[in-house]
Structure 1
Amino acid sequence: MRISRHELYELVSKSPLSKVAPGLGISPTALAEICRNHNVPYPGSGYWTRVSLGQAVALDPLPPDTDEQPINIEPSKARVRRTVARTTDATAEPSKSAGHAADTSVVVKERPARPHPIIAGWIADHERRRREAAASRDAWRIRMAPAPLSAIDHRRHAILEALFRALEGKGAKLSETEKGLLRVTIDGENIDFQVREKNRQVRVSPQDSRSSYLSQELVGTGKLVFAIRTYLRGPHHEEWRETASNPLEGQLPKIVDRLFEGARILKAWHLEQEQDRERWRQEAAQRAEKERLAKQEQKRRERLGELARNWTTAGQIREFLAAIRSKPLSSEAELGGKTLADWMAWAEDAADALDATRGGAEGLFSIISSVKVEPGWG
């Protein structure tokens, strides 16, 4: 297949590489390499995540290239073989076993030889409780002991086994939550989910003495439901319910893709939240700084007023001393251990201490500038 750089740019700018590549008969990785080799910009996964969230996005324009020869794309033989195999499967008769997914990338085995540790733990705990109840010989404990695993239990385990293996094969980690849900961790993001049997309400017979105070009760339908319990922002599909024509096994590939897409959504959302928190922190710091400067300005003005009042007082003291000097006095007379000359000098020193203008403008505003309010004053 031969395609121009402009045509390739149009394709990759409208859809993710994972959707464009199959139409060209190559893998997304090969398509990305072709784009890099021919200087064709293409958006990454974060671009499409922002698109799904309705955020504004921008893609680099196609740069000019001196070599505008058409690009030759050769479909991978492995890709061709897989395409032929899928076509053959589609035209063949439906499989007699409903326990296998249509996409062979997620294969459901009815009874795996070595169950996943989480599932093995469930089975071991179930059998332990049954043994303990039987060994107690207590009628109430025996009656309340868990029933043997049913066909729907085994099928649920088989589906989860396949799902766990598929997720872990892509680098995800599985665990259980305290609320009894399952958790997949992808690139540091946690998504909780469950696979449960769908129930329906049925009317209780009046002759049923077990539920005489109830008019309805829930009974299993034999159909399974996969449900994501972690909130993923935006209008997204969070439940997969199986039907007779569409068993849950065949929906596992889409579920796996959805979980990885959900992790990307969460990461973009958490990044946005962190950016919002950082913006709030900066705005709070700016408000605090503005308040600090206002408080500092207020204190400096108060200090200026105080110095002005002190200057007035200093002038009054000097005038007062001048009036005293105009009167006859004996400078050698002692009062309180000081001579009158000493007392006059003391009064002059007091006036000088109150007079901030003695150091000129530089001295005055040096005093004012020393009045500071430190950060965190409030």
Structure 2
Amino acid sequence: MTKVAAEYGVTSTALKKTCNRHKIPTPKRGYWAKLEHDKPVRRVCLPKLTDTKLDQVRISGTSAPNLPEQVSKAGMEARERLTNVSELAAADETDFLVEEPPVLGATRRAISKARPDAAGFTSAQGRSIVSLKIAPGSADRALQLLARLFALADTEGYRPKASDTGLDLAAEDVSIAFGIEERPRKTPHEPTAAELKRRDHNLRYGFSKDPWPKYDHSPSGRLSIVIQANLWSGLRRTWSDGKTQKVEGMLPEIIASLVEHGALLRQRRRAAEESERKRLVAEARRKREEAFNTREKRRLEFVDAVHEQLLERSRLSAVLAHLDHPAMDGRNPAENISAWIRRRIQQIDALTSPEFLDLSARSAKLGFVEPPKGSGSEYAGAYYAYPSPPRLLLWSIDEEKELATTTGPLEWAIHAGLLPASEDQPAKDEAAEAVPPPQR
């Protein structure tokens, strides 16, 4: 029944009811286990139909094709294991009592102290308490149902586990919340005299809606087990008392569905973890690429600064070549201009010298070698960082202290002997930055 029902997308209980309606005999509980162990079994023949309307069976299942294969497989295997459950867990008789586990003590105390609402239902919920909404007269049966549920769930590795919101059934790395509700009985509401008077009063002002509910709700004694997980997943979540079958007889199917819910929770968690892993990989790649582009941009800015100095040197050299032709009398009226151009060219040569370029790049924290992957520095300057464009700097190197300090053009020219020193020589730049000179 379990295997065939899964093929049609219905539960074994639904398939059993369909067979009963169409006078199709089905194997009794334990039939296939006895057959497997060569025990004698009784096979009932298909009877003749007196009603021709029953000769065709239509089953409209609600299979869930979108469920992962491992979820369906887990449910199928659990149903096969639960086919031959003991009477302790699967018997329909509710007078066969099971010892109530201590873990249900908090639930019993909470439901016994709860006060009924206007419809006659009491509610219990909280830490270590199974979510209940039942009539006071159904409390003993609900707790006995929970005891049977826990006993059967333990065979599949699911055990009670306290949580902040209730008492869940947990196995390994999944925890599934559930509860028991009592289905209300609906009876047409009989308006009272006060309600009829209020309706007549409302009609005077154009309100035609009856000021009373359509139905009254009262306890029915019909219990339901509700799994509070995987909404809109296609898996069954509610089992209720029927006209002929109690929810106690559905416990094997409930536990099998519980296994399916656990498998789906695991699969969804794995899918979420894989999605997060891919997101982190993509984010790391994006940051690395952004950092690389930032480094490339700053490198190009540094090269452009060097190129700009070289262009200026080329222009200065052309002007100097033009001015270095003396007049007929041997004098050069533009000698001072030529001297300044030569000093300017020397400054550019210093700025663009390999030693000063290396110091300027290191001062700007500008590297021209890609950092190793995973070092952390590969993301430097990429995220929420706006570094200033690199500049070419002049340096004063102290060989003894092995220290290089930035200096201004005037101080550098005096230190290089291009300008005479004076007593009123300006002080060094307060913002000067010191870095170690490159290793020779």
TM-score, normalised to structure 1, is: 0.56
Residues 258-308 of structure 1: CA deviation (Å, up to 9, x unaligned): 112211121122111211111121122222222222232222222222211
Q: Which residue of 2 aligns with 1:263?
A: 262
Tell me if structure 2 keeps the 8 A contact 1:233–1:265: no
Post-superposition shift, 1:172?
2.1
Work out whether residues 106 and 163 of structure 1, in 8 Å CA contact, stay in contact via their aligned partners in 2.
no
Amino acid at match of 1:272: A
Query: Within 2, Cα distance between the matches of 1:304 and 1:369?
Result: 11
Alignment TM-score, normalising by the size of structure 2 = 0.49
SS in structure 1 opposite 2:182?
strand
Cα 1:111–1:249 shift into 2, 3 Å: closer
C-alpha contact (below 8 Å) 2:230/2:261 kept by paired residues: no
Tell me the equivalent position of 2:141.
155
CA contact (8 A) 1:173 1:184 kept: yes
Q: Secondary structure at the match of 1:314?
A: helix
Which residue, 180, 185, 191 being the options, matches 1:195? 180
CA distance in 2: counterparts of 1:250 and 1:196, whole angstroms: 17
The residue number in structure 2 matching 1:51 is: 69
Query: 1:330-361: CA deviations, max 9, x gaps?
Result: xxx9xxxxxx99x88854430212335x79xx
CA–CA distance in structure 1, aligned partners of residues 104 and 212 of structure 2? 35
CA distance in 2, matches of 1:189, 1:204: 45
Equivalent in the alignment of 2:413:
none
Which of 153, 164, 170 is the aligned partner of 1:185?
170
Task: Tell me: CA distance 1:54–1:109, structure 2 relative to 1, closer, same or farther (3 Å).
Answer: closer
2:253 is paired with a residue whose SS is helix
Q: How does 1:1-378 map to 2 (within 5 A)?
A: 25=36, 50-51=68-69, 103-106=87-90, 110=95, 115-127=100-112, 150-175=136-161, 177-179=163-165, 182-207=167-192, 214-215=212-213, 216-231=215-230, 234-319=233-318, 347-355=344-352, 369=368, 374-376=378-380, 377-378=382-383
CA offset digits 1:63-95 (Å, max 9, x no partner): xxxxxxxxxxxxxxxx9xx99xx8xxxxxxxxx
Partner AA of 1:152 in structure 2: S
Match of 1:134 in 2: none
Structure 2 stretches lacking a partner, 5+ long: 1-6, 8-31, 38-66, 74-80, 116-120, 124-133, 199-210, 372-376, 384-440
Q: CA deviation at 1:311?
A: 0.7
The SS at the match of 1:230 is coil
Displacement of 1:250 in angstroms is 0.5
Q: How far did 1:214 drift?
A: 3.1
The 1:112–1:209 alpha-carbon spacing in structure 2 relative to 1, beyond 3 Å, is: farther
Percent of paired sites with the same residue = 16
Q: Name the CA shift for 1:316/1:355 in 2 (closer, same or farther; >3 Å).
A: farther
SS in 2 for 1:246: coil
> 1:375 corresponds to which letter in structure 2?
Y
Contact 2:108–2:143 (8 Å) recurs in 1 = no
Shift of 1:129: 6.6
Whether the aligned pair in 1 keeps the contact of 2:71 and 2:260 (CA below 8 Å) is: no
Structure showing the higher helix proportion among its residues: 1
Aligned length: 269
Deviation at 1:145, TM superposition (A): 10
SS of the residue corresponding to residue 236 of structure 2 reads: coil
Q: 1:247 and 1:321 mapped to 2: Cα distance?
A: 109
Q: Distance in 2 between matches of 1:197 and 1:316?
A: 96
C-alpha spacing 1:207/1:368, structure 2 compared with 1 (3 Å): closer
Q: Aligned residue for 1:18?
A: none
Q: Which residue of 1 aligns with 2:3?
A: none
Match for 2:247: what amino acid?
Answer: L
Max Rg structure: 2
Please tell me the root mean square deviation across aligned C-alpha atoms, in Å. 4.8
Letter in 1 for 2:212: L
Contact 1:53 1:234 in 2 (8 A): no
How big is the shift at 1:223?
0.8
The aligned residue for residue 63 of structure 2 is none
The C-alpha deviation readout for 1:231-269, integer Å capped at 9, x for no partner, is: 167422211122131111100111112112211121122
d(CA) in 2 for partners of 1:174 and 1:209? 49
Q: Is the 8 A contact 2:99 2:147 kept in 1?
A: no
Shift of 1:111: 8.3
CA drift at 1:127: 4.7
* Alignment check: 8 A CA contact 1:191 1:228 kept: yes
Residue 114 of structure 1 deviates from its aligned partner by 5.2
Distance 1:124 1:246, change over 3 A: same
Distance 2:259 2:238 in 1: 15
Partner Cα distance (2:294, 2:276) in 1: 27
Q: Are the structure 2 counterparts of residues 169 and 145 from structure 1 closer, same or farther at C-alpha, using a change threshold of 3 Å? A: closer
Contact 2:224 2:239 in 1 (8 A): yes
Q: Specify the SS of the correspondent of 1:369.
A: coil
Inter-partner Cα distance in structure 1 for 2:104 and 2:195: 33
In 2 relative to 1, CA 368–115 (structure 1 residues): closer, same or farther, beyond 3 Å? closer
Which residue does the alignment assign to 2:426? none
Q: Which residue of 1 aligns with 2:58?
A: none
2:168 and 2:135 mapped to 1: Cα distance? Answer: 23
Please state whether the residue corresponding to 2:379 is helix, strand or coil.
coil
Contact 1:232 1:262 in 2 (8 A): no
